[in-house]
Structure 1
Amino acid sequence: MAYPTDEQIRIRAHKLWEQAGKPDGRDDQFWHQAETELREMEDLREISREPPPGVLPG
């Protein structure tokens, strides 16, 4: 599984912070939310590449 890079997380966290009205003191919250979202998106991408259950690849 490929994990999001710190740069990808930073960009997403900044966007979330802006959307929330740029509140002070919630850096960790936005970082965690961004990291979670990006990991979930990567998980979905990997799942979508897998063949459906019961179907043999190839």
Structure 2
Amino acid sequence: MRDYAHLLWEREGKPEGRDAEFWHAAEVELNAESESPDAPAETDQPNKTTIPG
């Protein structure tokens, strides 16, 4: 996570005094990816009201 936060900080032009902001952004993004990276998007799921057959 440290490396990703550093990457985000560099992309933004290395602003001073915003380390917590970039750490939090990295944490949120990495946690979102790790929760279910292979889960289908909501639009990929079948319609629940469709009657089979």
Cα offset for 1:43? 1.1
**Cα-to-partner distance string for 1:5-50 (whole Å, 9 max, x where unaligned):** xxxx1000000000000000000000000000000000122646xx
Task: Provide the residue aligned with 2:27 in structure 1.
Answer: 35
Q: TM-score, normalised by structure 2?
A: 0.68
Of the candidates 8, 17, 21, which is equivalent to residue 9 of structure 2? 17
- Structure with greater contact order relative to length (CA < 8 Å, sep ≥ 6): 1
Identity of aligned residues (%): 46
Q: What secondary structure does 2:14 align onto?
A: coil
Once superposed, which parts of structure 1, at least 4 consecutive aligned residues long, lie more than 6 Å away? Answer: none
Q: What secondary structure does 2:36 align onto?
A: helix
Alpha-carbon distance in 2 for matches of 1:10, 1:37:
13
Number of aligned pairs? Answer: 41
Structure 2 alignment gaps of length 5 or more? 46-53
Structure 1 alignment gaps of length 5 or more? 1-8, 54-58
The structure with the larger Rg is 2
